[in-house]
A and B are shown apart, each in its own frame.
Chain A
Amino acid sequence: MAPGTARQRQVEQLLAAREVVVACGPGGVGKTTTAAALAATTVARVGGRVLVLTVDPARRLADALGIGGLGNAAIKVPDEAFSAAGVRPRGELWAAMLDMSESWDALVRRHAPDSRTADQILGNPLYQNITRRFAQGHDYIAMERLYELHEGGEYDLLVVDTPPSRNALDLLDAPERMSEFFSSRLLRWLTVPYRSRLVNVASRPFYQVADRVLGSQFLQDLADFFILFQTMRDGFVARAEAVNRLLRDVRTTFLLVTTLEAVPAREAEEMLEALQKRRLHLGLLVCNKVLPSLLSDPAVSRAAEQLAEKAPQLAGQIAEMLGDGVPNASADVVATVLGEVASSFANFRLVATREAELLGELSAAHEVSATVGYRAGNITDLAGLLAMGARIWGDEEVEEPPAPRSTRRQGQPRREPGPRPGGQRRRPRRQTAEGGTAPPAGTAPPAGHGEKAADMRRAERTRGTGGQPGGTSPRER
């Protein structure tokens, strides 16, 4: 490929050199999609056998990859999916989903001393509950599965998506906690025979309370279960330590994904600190669904203000220009439209300003690798994933595929029945009483989508703020 920008080389080198990419970040920021985009783009540009392991993918992701569904077993993304996107893959893209209960069961079977013990554990009523609810259980399983796949050596690169954690540190500490769990003194207390508990001075108060509250039968059941569970101790501890080593290994890097909304950005910052504190390698920091930088451009802001100011006087003239060919284009309507355009700009400028502030904070903590703009609709095919990947690679100009029109062409009204956005409305509700909008008669067919996106990019280019090397906006610098 062409020599490429420094960023492109950087991303490419990273993905060629590392064997494991752990995608982390707050929930709902597009982590799974980003992980898939990164994996797909690596296959398209670098090559090798790449596996993307997702936790709880939307059905859409499987569709986007052109595979029927995802299971614990890896499925190869067909080459046709790449050719449909106009790309000849240099390697193979595989995808798998993490099935929690299946993975736990496999883990028990592996570490139990014999199959009878394994059956006893799997059949214990407490087992289901504990594996489901054990703090960080999901995080641990994700890391454990990653380790297993890495050990298997079938893939050149593993991109693993992680479950949304309640706490930034959960994921990173999961293996350690697992081994702590087994070495815990409390676990030993619980598993000592009932009679000797009563003579142990240290643990006696605990049992007295616990007996009273939970009943001794339950404690006994619990003890029985843990005695069984203990048989897996050595296997679990050794494994947890190995998983831990892999996370710290030079072959592993982290991908942190966030949006620039207050809550996710704060969580991302915490996660950043957690990674740094543990000396884990953060290879990529991606900000997703970012508003375009033209919103923060002072000259554009001024134009919006001028528009707001002059709209009332200009409305008549503009209405005349539109003429009879445009239904509804009275001076009043034109004035309203122009006013809405200007005030919408002011509203979104506020949001963009907040985003810029949060981006500034993040960049102070770590170099932001890429900002990916808000994209209309969902990513529904490999081309969409590759376009997103191109943004991460920092291609100078990314030709984004048009928004998925198929869903909109099917007679979907241009304005869907929808919300009554209360407080933000400056005008009384104009729709049907219950907020359901009647399909507006006489509106244009919904074709303007892609053109508008293109328009936006053109505007960005004209302003000279978009499409810089690295695809980043000036405010990151």
Chain B
Amino acid sequence: MIDLLERQLLFVTGKGGTGKTTVAAALGLLAAGTGRRTLVCEVEPKGDLSAAYECGPTPFEGRKVVALLTAMSMDTEASLREYLRMILRVPVVGRIGPVARAFDFVATAAPGIREILTIGKLCYEVRAQHYDLVVVDASATGHIVGQLAAPTGINELVKVGVVQSQTRWMLDILRDPARTGAVIVTTPEEMPVSEAVDLAGRLQQETPVHLACVIANRVLPELFGRGEEHVFDEIALPGRRAELARSVGAGDAEIAAVFAAASLAVTIRRDGAAHLEHLRRELADEVPLMYLPYLFGRAHGLRAIRRVAQSLGEEL
């Protein structure tokens, strides 16, 4: 396996709510910590990345988070502007304003335009070598395939025009597993796992991008080790539990509740483990599966991101 951070472009995707942004932000932090110039880009600018880094707005132009780490949000119109200015040298900078809405409309209606501008910007940053690693907090399961497939698909629809001629070098970057990879984030639950499995297949079939790894987020710690659960069950028998309560000096009902909570913890974890087992079975053998622990404490903000980055570092 090629080390995740040795690549130049990573698309972090997965079902909504599984912690894509957290993982992308943590990967960015980790990469910057190892001396890589790193860009983290939020494709759907909802402000989650800014919240994760607690760094204020992350504009298209980028914002420095810590040393070597820059965060930005995608803006397809700004991307078009930059593209026209820098690559095509089209003198339309002043005039594009009034047509922005028109552009927005065409981008909505015409397949792949918005996607190509998003992917184009990201590939451009890789090609221009402004950064060693570009981490993308990419779209969720439903939209990522369309996005990554856009450079391929646009050829079929747009026969001429500059957009068409620009897709080749993008494809070179995207299809090289040494440079580009997708990271699917999931949680140990039914739907996120089944979407992850589904997405893994679709990435392979419909996009040029290789699956670099799958990350299971919010994995509960195992409560009991080998043989311990049996001991737990024995102590939990009503008579013994009552005696334990007496020795502890607490009410039996209270101790029963504490034990019931432990049983619930075991149950929740076991349900999750079954889903992860299914995930492992369904994924190709060569796809690494990594685990990030459930954070019982604060689950957002920079402190949480640092903890996730630390766990991720241990996994890599």
Binding site for B on A (CB under 8 A): 26-28, 58, 60, 125-126, 129-130, 132-135, 164, 166, 184, 186-187, 189-190, 203, 205-206, 208-218, 221-222, 226, 261-264, 291-292, 294-295, 297, 299-300, 302-304, 306-307, 310, 314, 317-318, 321-322, 326-329, 333-334, 336-338, 340-342, 344-345, 347-348, 350-351, 354, 374, 376-378, 403, 407, 412, 414-425, 427, 430-431, 435, 437, 440, 442-444, 448-449, 452-453, 455-456, 458-460, 462-463
Contact = CB atoms under 8 A, between A and B. Distances in A.
A463 B224 contact: no
Contacts of B111: 126, 129-130, 133
A407 to B, nearest CB: 7
Contacts of A190: 105-106, 109
A166 B44 contact: yes
A462 B200 CA distance: 47
A265 B268 CA distance: 20
Given A342-B258, A422-B291, 16 more contacts: A26-B16, A27-B16, A125-B157, A134-B108, A190-B109, A213-B162, A300-B254, A318-B244, A328-B227, A344-B223, A345-B258, A415-B224, A435-B291, A437-B226, A449-B267, A456-B260
B246 to A, nearest CB: 10
Contacts of A348: 261, 264-265, 296
Nearest to B192: A28
Name B's interface SS: helix
Contacts of B164: 215
B263 A455 contact: yes
Contacts of B99: 205-206, 209
A209 B260 contact: no
30 contacts: A26-B16, A27-B15, A27-B191, A28-B16, A28-B189, A28-B192, A189-B102, A205-B98, A209-B99, A210-B102, A214-B158, A215-B159, A218-B110, A222-B106, A300-B254, A307-B258, A317-B247, A318-B235, A326-B230, A326-B231, A336-B225, A340-B232, A415-B226, A418-B276, A419-B222, A422-B315, A449-B267, A455-B256, A459-B253, A459-B257
A304 B310 CA distance: 30
Given A292-B264, A334-B231, A414-B229, A462 B256 contact: yes
Q: How large is the interface on B (under 10, 10 to 19, 20 to 34, 35 or more residues)?
A: 35 or more
A125 B156 CA distance: 9
B203 interface: no
B260 A306 contact: no
Interface string B93-135: 0011011011101101111110000000000000000000000
Contacts of A354: 299
A264 B110 CA distance: 32
A421 B256 contact: no
Nearest to B156: A125
Interface of B: 15-18, 44, 80, 84, 88, 90, 92, 95-96, 98-99, 101-103, 105-106, 108-113, 140, 142, 146, 153, 156-164, 188-192, 194, 216, 219-236, 240, 243-245, 247-251, 253-268, 270-274, 276-277, 280, 291-297, 299-300, 307, 310-311, 314-315
A263 B17 contact: yes
Contact of A307 (B88, B192, B250, B300): B250
A214 B254 CA distance: 70
Given A456-B263, A463-B257, A419 B273 contact: yes
Given A213-B161, A292-B261, A430-B225, A314 B247 contact: yes
A222 B250 contact: no
Contacts of A189: 102
B274 A133 contact: no
A163 B245 CA distance: 49
A409 to B, nearest CB: 13
Given A262-B300, A407-B274, A423-B293, A344 B146 contact: no
A28 B311 CA distance: 25
A233 to B, nearest CB: 14
A459 B236 CA distance: 12
A203 B105 CA distance: 13
A415 B265 contact: no
A310 B247 contact: yes
A306 B106 CA distance: 66
Contacts of A327: 227, 230
A337 B248 contact: no
Given A212-B90, A422-B314, A442 B230 contact: yes
A430 B225 CA distance: 7
Name A's interface SS: helix
A341 B232 contact: yes
Contact of A452 (B158, B243, B263, B311): B263
Contacts of B140: 166
B91 to A, nearest CB: 11
A418 to B, nearest CB: 4
Contacts of B250: 302-303, 306-307
B90 A209 contact: yes
A58 to B, nearest CB: 6
B17 A28 contact: yes
B244 A421 contact: no
B231 A310 contact: no
Contacts of A403: 267
Nearest to A310: B248
A63 to B, nearest CB: 13
A321 B242 CA distance: 12
A376 B271 contact: yes
A425 B269 CA distance: 14
B273 A416 contact: yes
B187 to A, nearest CB: 8
Nearest to A448: B233
B102 A203 contact: yes
A32 to B, nearest CB: 9
B228 A336 contact: yes
A348 B161 CA distance: 58
Nearest to B101: A186
A440 B17 CA distance: 33
B99 to A, nearest CB: 4
B261 A295 contact: yes
Given A294-B257, A416-B274, A456 B264 contact: yes
Contacts of B17: 26-28, 261, 263-264
Nearest to B160: A215
Q: Which of A212, A218, A226, A443 has the most CB of B within 10 A?
A: A218
B267 A421 contact: no
Nearest to B108: A135
Nearest to A129: B111
A28 B17 CA distance: 8
Contacts of B95: 205, 209
A341 B228 contact: no
Nearest to A447: B233
A261 to B, nearest CB: 8
Q: Which of B84, B264, B268, B291 has the most CB of A within 10 A?
A: B264
A354 B220 CA distance: 17
